[in-house]
Amino acid sequence: MIHIDLTDQPIDVAAALQLVEAEGAGAINTFIGTVRNQSTGRSVVRLEYEAYDSMALHQLRKVAEQALEQWPMLQQVAIIHRKGTLYIGDVAVVVAVSTPHRAESFAACQFIIDTLKQVVTIWKKEFYEDGDVWVAAHP
């Protein structure tokens, strides 16, 4: 089962964890990305995430499907990404997977967040005291 969401509301991590609970799954791995107070040495004040919604949702689902292909024992996959304005400590993304065995839970969760960062059409702009930058835009 795949659960995908892209939301401008605060992410409820506990609810995300409940999505992946399964009686046959003894192992749940969760990655939570939060807004750090620093980025490449500069003090971050806030972030803005912009998304190409329809493509982001489609690509998020594809990433989850690829994980299910690679680890057929996966029972539940949840990927929830925030958009809009975020402040220090806010949750930007939650990935949660459940499997019968733990090694696969780590591998699948890491695959999902790594692949998400490469292909999902979401853009982050960091705002500092003295300027702003679209992350990764320039070499």
Query: Which residue ranges make up the site for a copy of itself (CB under 8 A)?
Result: 13-14, 17, 21, 23-38, 88-89, 100, 102-103, 105-106, 109-110, 113
Helix 53-70 / helix 102-119 crossing angle, nearest 10 deg: 150
Among a copy of itself, another protein, none, partner that 76 touches (CB below 5 to 8 angstroms by kind): none
Closer residue to another protein in complex, CB, 41/139: 139
Q: Does 29 bind another protein (CB under 8 A)?
A: no
Which of 11, 67, 86, 93 is the binder for another protein (CB under 8 A)?
Answer: 93
Which of 10, 52, 85, 103 is the binder for another protein (CB under 8 A)?
Answer: 52
Q: Could you give the C-alpha distances from 57 to 22, 51, 67, 69, 120, in angstroms and in order?
A: 24, 9, 16, 18, 8
Q: Pick from 135, 34, 10: which is nearest to 84 by CA?
A: 10
Distance CA 48, CA 82 (A): 10
Total residues belonging to the chain: 139
Q: Least CB distance from residue 54 to a copy of itself, whole Å?
A: 27
DSSP state letter for 88: T
Contacts of 133 (CB under 8 A, 6+ apart): 125, 126
Among another protein, a copy of itself, none, partner that 131 touches (CB below 5 to 8 angstroms by kind): none
DSSP state letter for 84: E
Closer residue to another protein in complex, CB, 123/127: 123
Q: Least CB distance from residue 13 to another protein, whole Å?
A: 15
- State the DSSP H helix or E strand holding residue 43, giving kind and residue range, or none if neither: strand 42-51
Interface with another protein (CB under 8 A): 33, 49-52, 54-56, 58-59, 81, 92-93, 102, 113, 116-125, 134-139
